[in-house]
Each structure stands twice: as structure tokens, then as C-alpha cells.
Amino acid sequence: MNYIEIKNEKRLHHGIVRKTDLNLRAEFPELQTIIYQVEDDSFVIQIKNRKVDYHKIEAEFEKSIKPILVPINLSRKKPKEKFKILSSLEDVDIPKGLQGVLMPKFRWADMLMSKFPGINFYKISDEPGVVNIHIANYWYQSNSMKKYQFLTKNQKEDLVEFLKNYKSGIDFRIYVDELDSASDHNGHSKDGSSTYYCNRVARNIPKFVQRDESLWYDNVDSIFESNFKKKQLFFYNQNEYSCYADFSVYPNIDLRYFLLLYQRIYLSPPIDNNLGDWFKAHSMSRAEFIELIIRERITILLVQDVSRYDTDFLNEVFSLKPDAIVSKRAIACLQQCDIIETSDNYLFGDGVSIKEMKFVSEMLSKYMKTDASSLFKTLAWPVVARRKSFDVLQIGGVLSASVYGVNKIISNPPETNISEASEFMLNVFSYASHLSSSLNATYFPVRGKDGFTDATYTEQMGTLLNFYKKATVEGLKNFVEGQQYLIKGNTFIEPIQLLKINDYPPILEFEDVLNKELVFPSSKRLMETLANLNGEEQQRKIKMYNDEINKFLGTQEKTGLVLDLGTQTLNIAIGLASGVPTGPLTSLLKLMSKKPMKRLNPVRGLLEKVELAMNQNEEDTRNIHFLSRINRVAKLKEY
């Protein structure tokens, strides 16, 4: 049988050896290495650093890094026998040629069908050192016409070029089989052979999954080269004020809180083949939820395999709003983009800085009386995440973020020493922290009926991720200043403790009151104003807001559902508080603000009343305006 052969035996083990060297430098990012291939086709990784604990590195290499059946060893010296140098896998080239990535046949099938959707792959089989790829040509009936499905010249060239670049020492043979009709076989052969059949129709993969698989394989090289940014993703808008709410396993707060505060809600739905009970728990219908999606208030993120969800519902949403469904492969793209962008912008991201970081960590550890290794791992995390994340996201998606995530560098959770239970919780919810950070979205901790929440763990991971994003030449100063609020005892705001929803109005009526334009930037400004106050100051501010709103609302008539609170009505509110007629208020205030007038006692007294009503703060004026407009559906709690 004729076939096209792509031989890679001259590069036997090259990809795996490069990946092993990369994994070593991910575990010990300060290392400088050289890879040697010696005459007997074995390999040596030389560690060039002088001041390292070589025995510790060697023990870790043998225990958890070195692949089985690959002739590779560590050394402090270059080989004595004849050798040639094998180039290392650079940080920008990690996914190229899928070096060192070994996959079972079903993953090969998924990858090829995603990368080349126009080619009719038929089956995949293997023998020692060879992968056989079969493509089917056949005639089929389309309406009243008979058409021929075949492999084109351009498709063949693209496939051959792709397989040539696969650098893990495997040969490929491409067979083109002439069939009478399309094959209906799918999955692993039932006759005991090692064949895997590739049937697109029988696999029944939703179109949005196929789209997202292609997104990953078409762009992952460009992501590492920093030529594809997350702002280019179809579902991400960096200018929106957004949150991430995870309902996949545990409950969360009512959707109305999210709608009240954010332009867009990224939401992971429950793992359930029937969402009826979930809709009922949130006092909404299936149609109402879909309408919120169409209005671009909600985007669905599928962190699990699509088979675990209500696929009929997802397909319905996709048919109405294709960009509102994001499967786990597109989420992996988002996470990979975020890691690369963070690493690129990080103050200590280049090789020279890493060596310096190691030295500084050792010096600081003596002063701080802490472990130098832990301190160094904390500073080097963005570099480590870049080197470790591709294999993880390629296979497991963002749910496996704990393999490379900041949870790895947290030594003590709040208020207690690390325990197995705490470590487990950090691992379980690592993906939620990293996903929300990638979205630049507020994360809402899950809330179980028994009071269970992941808030302590996700908040700690979120703080670390924020540090790495802000640790740039431009952003570090602002981040440090922002953290001073936390050091001074100020707390984060939890909307469920701050806001009261009025008797759970119908969700679309609720949304009609709010709408996207009203929510942003008003809700963000309100949260930031209150978050920068301690508990006692928050109470005073909330009472002042509610008092002013009640004064104002007592003079207004409702126009439908939304209160008409424009600039003129705000002037009325100021006028009522100060006892001044509204007509000449603006000009009078300008006159009173002049220095000669401000010296007069009556004018000073009048100005004090106006300033008291508005608390001498333009932000308060805007916050009162926003809260007045949403009073129909929600208000601040006083406590």
C-alpha cells in the first residue's frame, strides 16, 4: 500500500530530552544548563552553576523529572567522549513541534481533527516507533448531486509540514484510503487491534468545542511568542468591569448581586444535565437566563468537559449567541495568554534577574529569618509558571492549574500552619483564582449551605496573582500603595453583606432597571469608595448615603421602574438639604465660593450645610446618584 512517510529517527529522543531539560529549569529556575548528545546516543545535561546544591538537584531529577527508558543523566562537567550540543528549549519555543509531548491515539485524533478540520481523518494505528494516519476519500450524495470527498494537495502539504515539525522521535506514515462511503466506525477498535477510528459525526462534538480546539492549536505558538494576546480572544473585553461566579459544584450567591454590580458576569454553570432546579433556585426561567446572555450580561465558561453539562441548553445558547459559550480549550488559551503576558512584563523575568534573585533571596532570608528556597520560589513564580503551564493546559485545562499555580508557593494559610486539609483546599480552588485573574474579574467565593466557602484560600491566591501582574516598571508603586489599605486594617467588601435585594424582583425586570450602562462605572466607584474605609467609617458613610437618598426620594415621583435622577434633580437634592431655591443654586454657589463672600458668616454657614449634605466629596454625589437610581431593586444595608 502506498503511503507518505515522514521520518524523524535522526531526532530520536531530542524532543523528550529538551523537555526534560526545561522541566529541570522549571523546578530550579536559577540553573544554567547545556545539553550534550554523546556518541552512543545518550544525553548529558551539564549544570554550569557553581554555587548550587548539586546533590539535592540530582536527587530531585532522578525522583520526579527524568523520564523512564530515556538515556539521560546530570553532570557538573561536560562529557569526555565525542559529543554534539543539542539546543535547549527556550521559553518562547515551548509548544513548538509539541516537543516531548507524548499522546495516546485518541488525543492524536482530537488534535488532528481540530488542527485540520477540512481533512477527513479515518483512523489512526501504531507500531513500534511509527504512527499510521489514514485519510478517507469517498463519494457521497448531497441533495441530487454526487460529490467526492478527497485530500487536496494543499491539505496534504500542510499536514506533512506539521508532522515534520513534531520533535519527539516518531515516524509517520500517511495513507489515503479509497472507500465506497464514509465510515461509521468511531473510537477504539472492538476487534482487539490498536486502531482508533476518527468519525466526526459519531463523536458528536459541539461546534463551539471544535472552534475552541482550533483556537488553541492555531495560536499556541504565537501565544508563547507574545504575538497573540488575550485581548484578541473572541470572548474577552479588557475594558469591561466583570466578575467570575462558579456554580459548577458548589452554590453561590444570587445572580442579582452580580447584575447589580458588574457589566459582565463570567459564569460556570452547574455540572448537571438538567438546569431546571438551578433556574428555580434563582427565581428565573430558562428563557430569562438566555435573554441575559443575549443582552451580553452573562458569558458561560465551561471549566469541565462539555459532556458533563446540559448540552441541549448549551447548543441552544450557541445558536443564539455563539460568542457566549466558552469551552475549556478556549479558557486554556486565556490562561496561557495571561501567564505569558505576566511573565513578559515581570520585573524579574529575564535570566540575569533570576540569578540575581537567587542571591538576593539568600541575603534576605537571613535578615527575615525565613527559608531562602521558599522566598526564591515566590519571586520566580511567573517564570516557573511559564515553563510548567503548557503541558498542563494542553492535557487537563485550567482545572489542573494547581500543578503550576501560586498555591505551590503558599507556605502558611491565614491564621494557622499549613495542614493537609488547607493544602487540599488550595489545590481544589486554585483554578478559580487563576481563571478570575486571567479575566481581570472579581471572583465570588462559593457558598455552601453549611457555611462552607473558599474565600480564605482564593483571597490569598488572588493577592499573590495581583502582585505578579502589578510587579512591572509601571505598576509596582501603585500596587504597593494599594496594599497599604489592607495593612491598615481595611477590609474587602462582600456585596451580600453590603447590599439588600428588594424582595427578589423578576430577573429581567431587575435587569431593565439596571442595564449595562448604568451599572458601570457607578458600581465600581461605590465599591472602591467603601472598600477604602474601615468598618466604623463604612457604617457612617452608608448611613449618610441612605439618609440623603431617603430625603431625595421623598420629593420624587417614579416614572415607570426607573427614577428620573438627572443633573437637575440632583440640584434639587442639594437645594433641599441647604434650604436654597433650586433655580439660582449653581450661580449662587459659584458666587459664594469667591474669597470675599466666604469671609461672611451667613455664607460660611450656608456652604457648610451644602458641604455636609454632599460630605465634601464628588464621589459621594455620584454614589448617591447611582444608589437612588437602583433603589427600586436594591439598597445598602445598615448594620
**607 shares its domain with 510:** no
* Boundary residue ending a domain (564, 593, 614): 564
**Residue-wise pLDDT tens digits, 113-126:** 888 988 999 999 99
Residues near 494 by Cβ (< 8 Å), separated by ≥ 6?
A: none
Q: Are residues 484 and 502 in the same domain?
A: no
pLDDT in the model for residue 589:
39
Q: d(Cα 364, Cα 382) in Å, to the nearest integer? A: 20
* Cα distance between residue 376 and residue 355, in whole Å: 10
592 and 524: one domain?
Answer: no
Task: Please check whether residues 309 and 222 belong to one and the same domain.
Answer: yes
Whether 441 is covered by a domain: the verdict is yes
Q: What is the pTM of this model?
A: 0.80
> Is the separation of the CB atoms in 365 and 372 below 8 Å?
yes
Please, are residues 575 and 582 in contact by the beta-carbon 8 Å criterion? yes
In a domain, 8, yes or no: no
In this predicted structure, what is the pLDDT of residue 409? 85
Q: Which long-range contacts (CB under 8 A, 24 or more apart) does 560-565 make?
A: 561/509, 561/512, 561/513, 561/632, 562/512, 562/513, 562/629, 562/632, 563/628, 563/629, 563/631, 563/632, 565/625, 565/628, 565/629
Q: Shortest CA distance to 246 belongs to which of 38, 439, 497?
A: 439
Q: Examine residue 149 and state whether it is found in any structural domain, yes or no.
A: yes
Which pLDDT tens digit goes with each residue over 368-398? 777 888 888 888 999 999 999 999 999 999 9
Cis previous bond, 414, omega within 30: no
pLDDT on residue 290: 97
pLDDT at 167: 76
Total structural domains within the chain: 5
User: Measured between alpha carbons, how far is residue 440 from residues 244, 264, 443, 532 in Å?
Assistant: 9, 12, 9, 20
Q: In this structure, are 383 and 458 located in the same domain?
A: yes
Is 125 contained in some domain? yes
Rounded CA-CA distance 524/543 in Å is 19
Do 458 and 383 lie in a common domain? yes
Three-state secondary-structure class, residue 92: coil
Question: Which of 561, 549, 469 lies closest to 238 in space, CA to CA?
Answer: 469
In-domain check, residue 344: no
Domain boundary among 36, 58, 86: 86
List the domain range (segments joined by +) for residue 605: 358-492+566-634
Those residues whose C-beta lies under 8 Å from the C-beta of residue 537, and which sit 6 or more positions away, are none
Please indicate, yes or no, if residue 81 is contained in any of the structural domains: yes
What was the pLDDT predicted at 253?
Answer: 80
Q: For residues 468 and 579, state if they share a domain.
A: yes
Residues 310 and 438 placed together within one structural domain of the fold: no
384 and 458 both lie in a single domain: yes
The Cα angle at residue 115 between residues 110 and 119, in degrees rounded to 5: 90
Residues of the chain with pLDDT under 50: 412-416, 484-493, 555-616
Query: pLDDT of 579-599, one tens digit each?
Result: 333 333 333 334 444 444 444
pLDDT on residue 391: 94
Answer yes or no: is 204 within a domain. no
The domain spanning residue 44 has which CATH number? 3.30.300
Instruction: Encode pLDDT of 243-293 as tens digits.
Output: 899 999 888 888 888 888 888 999 999 997 779 999 998 889 999 999 999
The DSSP string of 40-90 is TS-EEEEE--SSS-HHHHHHHIIIIISPTT--EEEESS--SS-EEEEPP--
The whole-number pLDDT of residue 131 equals 92
